[in-house]
Chain A
C-alpha cells in the first residue's frame, strides 16, 4: 500500500480527476434533498398509466449523468423498471432502435423473444438432448425451413399481442431467424427499405412499441425506461438544418406518443439552454416532458452540508479497514465547505476535482501537513479553477 495514502488514512484516492459520471466501484450516493425530490416525482409518475416523461436539468458538472446512473443502477431496478442508458439517441427514429437493440445485443434479444414465444413454436426436428435458441436455429437451417420459421414466429408475435402489423411481425421474426448467420446488428439493419433490414418501412411507431413490449414482457419487468444523457449534444460535429433539428425533437415526441399505452419511462437530462430551446422550438414536447412544468427536476446546487457529506461518503469508501480517522473529513479540515468558494462547493464535479488534486498532491509531498491547511486547499482550488483576472474590465471575459 502507498505509505503516503496510508498517512492520509486512505486505501486509494476516492476522487477522480475527470469527475465525469458515476465513479467506478463505489456505492452511489445522492444528497438527501435530491433523493427526496426524485422519490416524490417518481412515486407520482409511477402511480399513473402509460408513458412517463421526465426532464432533468442541470449545468455541466452539476451531476446529471451521476443522477441518471443512480436511477439506472439503484432506483429504477428497485422499482422493477428495466433501464436502458443512451448518451445520444440520434436524429432519426430508427437510430434510436439501432442504439437500443445494439445495447441489448442481437443474440440476447433473439433469445429473449424466442423463449417468450417458444410455447407457440413447433420443434423443426429438435433433438431430444439439445434445447435452446441456437440448436433450434441450427435445426431450422439444416432443414431449410427458414421461411416456415419466420412465418410461425410472426404468427406467434401477433398472437401474443406484441405487434398487429404483419410486416413488423416478420421483421422481428427475422431478427431471431437471422441470428445464427449474423449474431450482431449492423447500422444498415436499421435503414428502412434496404435488403435484410430488420425494421419496417415507415412504421416506426408500432415497430418501436413492439420492441418495448418484447423488452417488458420477456424481461419480466413492470416497465421499460430510456435514460437519455446529454440531450444537448444533438450534433457534435455537423450542423443540422432546421428540419433535422425538428426531426430530432420529433423523434422524442413520437417516442412519447408511440409508447403512450405502454408502461414506458423516458428520462432525459439536459443543460438549461436545451430546456429553453425545446420550449421555443417544440413547446408541445416540453409539455410532455414536464406536464406543463409540474414534473421537472432542476438539480439544485450543493449547499455546504451536502458538499461535506459528498466528501465524507467518498472518503468512507476508501478508509483503511479497522482504523478510525481523527475526524470524518480527515485529511480535509472540518470547515472544508467554508474554505472553498461557494461556486466550487455548489458543483459536484468541481468539488470532486479539487478533492482529487488535494489528495494527489499530498501523495507527492511526504512533509505535507494534515489535515490540509486552508492555504493549501485554496491554492489547489485556484490552480484547478482559476478566478478571472480582476483588471481589464472593459475587455471581454
Chain B
C-alpha cells in the first residue's frame, strides 16, 4: 500500500489515513522519531483530538486513524523500537514540566492530552526559550517525559498525577511558582530522573564505577568525570564518551541518540538538575563532571585552594583560569560558576593585588564552528565588568598574607 521506506531517519513519509469517511493521503515531512513516537505512544495507534499537527501539516478533524500496517513499510522496523527508549529531549526545561504537574494537580480526574494542550495555550502556561508558544510536538514531548519518568500516569484516556508514588507525592507537596525550580523541586526531579532505568543506562551510568542503583547523593559523591568528543565521519556524526584515562565507554551516532543523550540528558543534568557541570579544553575535549549541591562546598575552601597556588618566590604568580576550574572545579566537585565567583570575590576585595588578564575573543573561540558552540566554549572564561573574557589571573605574593590577616 505504501512505498518502502528507504531506511533514512529523516524522510518524507507517505501516510495513508482515514479521516472520518474520507480517505486521506498526505506526504509528511517529519523526523521519524517524532512520528513513530506520536503514533506509538498512544494506545491502538490513534491520534485523537480536534487539532493534530503531523509534521508540517495541521489536520483539523475529529479523529485520524492510521490505516493498519502503514508503519510496517519501514525497511528496518526494529530500528524504531530500538530507539523507543531515547525519548529524552533538551529543548524543554523541568520548570516547564513543573507547570504541567501544577496544572494536572488541579484536575484529580486527569485531563486528556488535547485538553491539556488547550489549557496550556489558553492560560499561556508555557513559553519556549524564544518566548513563543510551544508547538503540539513540544507539548507531546513534555507529556511523554512526564509519563516516562512516572510523574504522570494514564487513567483510561486521561493523564493523572501518579500520587501513589512517594517521590511524586513529595513533589506535589513542594510545588512552587516562579521562573526556576526551587532546590526541593530540583532534588526530587533529580531523584526521579536517576531512578529511571533509561536515563541511567543512557547517560548517568557513564559516570558511575558500576551499574548498580544509586541516588542523587551517591551520584554527586562517587561519579567520575566523563569526556565527550564529537567528530564528523563519512556516515555522519559520531560522539565518543570516554573516561579520563582514555577508555572509551560508549559511542553514539544516530540523530535520535544525539538528540536524547547529548542534547537531552546532558542538558537536563547540567542546566536543570545541577548534577554535573561541564568545561572544555582543546587538549582534552568536553569534560563533564559531577558536582556537589551548589553552596555545599564553602567558597573559603575554593579560596584557600586558589591562594595556595601563589608562588612565595615571585612577586607575581600568573594562573590560568582554565587550569583553575579544571583542577579545583573537578577536584572539589564544585560548579565552574562557583570557582569564578570565588575569583571575583578575591578580586573585589583586593583589586590592588589581583590583575585580570584578558584574552582575545577570536582566539578563545578559535576552533568553534557555530555560535552555539562559541557560547559553550566561552563558558570557560571569567567575564569581567567590561565584558572582557579573562583567561588568566595574576596574584601578588602578599595576597595570601593579606587574606589570612
What residues of chain A have their CB less than 8 Å away from a CB belonging to chain B? 59-60, 232-237, 239-242, 245, 271-274, 276-277, 279-281, 298, 300-301, 303, 341-343, 346-347, 387-390, 393-394, 396-397
Q: Which residue of A lies closest to B371 (CB)?
A: A239
Residues of B within 8 A of A301 (CB): 315-316, 355, 394
Q: Is B96's CB within 8 Å of the partner chain A?
A: no
Q: A242-B367, A245-B366, A245-B367 are in contact. Are A271 and B283 (CB under 8 A)?
A: no
Contacts of B351 in A (CB 8 A): 341, 343, 387-388
Chain A: minimal CB distance from B379 (Å) = 12
Show 23 residue pairs from A and B whose CB-CB distance is below 8 angstroms, ordered by the A residue: A232-B359, A233-B362, A236-B362, A239-B368, A245-B366, A271-B359, A272-B318, A272-B392, A273-B359, A273-B360, A273-B363, A273-B392, A280-B281, A280-B282, A280-B283, A341-B352, A342-B396, A343-B354, A343-B355, A387-B351, A389-B348, A390-B348, A393-B341
B344 on the A face (CB < 8 A): yes
List B contacts of A303 (CB < 8 A).
315
Whether the Cβ atoms of B394 and A59 lie closer than 8 Å is: yes
List the 4 shortest-distance A-B pairs measured between CB atoms, nearest first: A280-B282, A341-B352, A273-B391, A273-B359
Q: How far is the CA of A244 from the CA of B364 in the complex (A)?
A: 15
Q: Would you give the 0/1 interface string for B364-393, flagging 1 where the beta carbon is closer than 8 Å to chain A? A: 111111000010000000111100000110
Which B residues contact A (CB, under 8 angstroms)? 281-283, 315-316, 318, 320, 322, 340-341, 344-345, 347-349, 351-360, 362-369, 374, 382-385, 391-392, 394, 396
- Chain B CB count within 10 A is highest, among A279, A343, A387, for A343
Give the residues in chain A near B354, CB-CB below 8 Å: 343
Out of A343, A346, A389, A397, name the residue touching B383 (CB < 8 Å): A397
B374 touches A239 (CB 8 A): yes
User: Dominant SS at the A interface?
Assistant: loop
Q: In the complex the two chains form, is B360's CB within 8 Å of A59's CB?
A: no
Residues of A with C-beta under 8 A to B374:
239
Please give 6 more A-B residue pairs, beta carbons under 8 A apart, in addition to A240-B362, A242-B367, A397-B384.
A239-B374, A271-B363, A273-B360, A273-B363, A342-B352, A343-B353
Contact in complex: A272, B320 (CB < 8 Å): yes
Instruction: Report the Cα distance A60→B374, complex, angstroms.
Output: 22
From residue B338, how far is it (CB to closest CB) to chain A in Å? 11
CA distance A396 to B344 in the complex (A): 7
- Contact check, B363 vs A272: say whether CB atoms are below 8 A apart: no
CA distance A234 to B368 in the complex (A): 13
Q: How far is the CB of A280 from chain B (nearest CB, A)?
A: 4
Please give the distance in Å from B310's CB to the nearest CB on chain A.
13
Contact B359 A239 (CB under 8 A): no
A242 to B364 CA separation, bound complex (whole angstroms): 12
Residues of B within 8 A of A397 (CB): 344, 347, 356, 382-385
Chain B positions within 8 Å of A273 at CB level: 357, 359-360, 363-364, 391-392
User: Given that A341-B351, A393-B341, A396-B383 are known contacts, is A235 also in contact with B362, CB under 8 Å in the complex?
Assistant: yes
Q: Take A341-B351, A393-B348 as given contacts and tell me if A242 and B369 are in contact as well, using a CB distance cutoff of 8 Å.
A: yes
Contact A346 B282, beta carbon cutoff 8 Å: no
Output the least CB separation between A275 and chain B (Å).
10
Contact B358 A60 (CB under 8 A): yes
User: What are the residues of chain B within 8 A of A274 when measuring CB–CB?
Assistant: 359-360, 363
Whether B348 and A388, one on each chain, are in contact in the complex, defined by CB atoms closer than 8 angstroms, is yes
Q: Which residue of B lies closest to A60 (CB)?
A: B358
Closest A residue to B390 by CB, please name it.
A397
**Closest Cβ–Cβ distance, residue A164 to chain B (whole Å):** 37
Distance from A10 Cβ to chain B, minimum over Cβ atoms (Å): 28
Give A140 to B34 CA distance when docked, in angstroms: 75
Shortest distance in angstroms between A233's beta carbon and chain B's nearest beta carbon?
6
Question: In the complex, A113→B308 CA distance in Å?
Answer: 59
- Residues of the B chain whose Cβ atoms lie less than 8 Å from the Cβ of A300: 316
Q: With CB as the reference atom, state the residue of chain B lying closest to A389.
A: B348
B347:A388 contact, CB within 8 angstroms: yes
Chain A residues in 8 Å Cβ range of B353? 342-343
* Complex contacts, B391 vs chain A, CB 8 Å: 271-273, 276
* Alpha-carbon gap, A367 to B322, bound state (A): 50
CB distance from A276 to the nearest CB of B (A): 6
Q: Could you tell me if A390 and B349 are in contact, using CB atoms closer than 8 angstroms?
A: yes
> Out of B281, B357, B365, B383, which one reaches A272, CB within 8 Å?
B357
Closest residue of B by beta carbon distance from A283: B283
| Cα–Cα, bound, A272→B320 (Å) | 8
B355, A232: Cβ atoms under 8 Å?
no
Shortest B294–chain A CB gap in Å is: 12
Q: Which residues of B contact A241 (CB under 8 A)?
A: 367, 369
Q: Which residue in A237, A239, A347, A389 is a CB contact (below 8 Å) of B365?
A: A239
Q: Of A240, A298, A342, A396, which is within 8 A of B367 by CB? A: A240
What separation, in Å, do the CA atoms of A126 and B345 have in the docked complex? 78
A232-B348 in contact (CB<8A): no
- Of A237, A240, A394, the most chain B CB neighbours within 10 A belong to A240
Complex-state Cα separation, A277 to B354, whole angstroms? 23
Query: Which A residues are in CB contact (< 8 Å) with B281?
Result: 280
Please name the residue on chain A nearest to B392 by beta carbon: A272
Q: Residue of A at shortest CB range from B343?
A: A397
Which chain A residue lies CB-closest to B351? A387
In the bound complex, residues from chain A placing their C-beta under 8 Å from that of B315 are: 301, 303
Query: How long is the Cα–Cα vector from A389 to B349 in the complex, in angstroms?
Result: 9
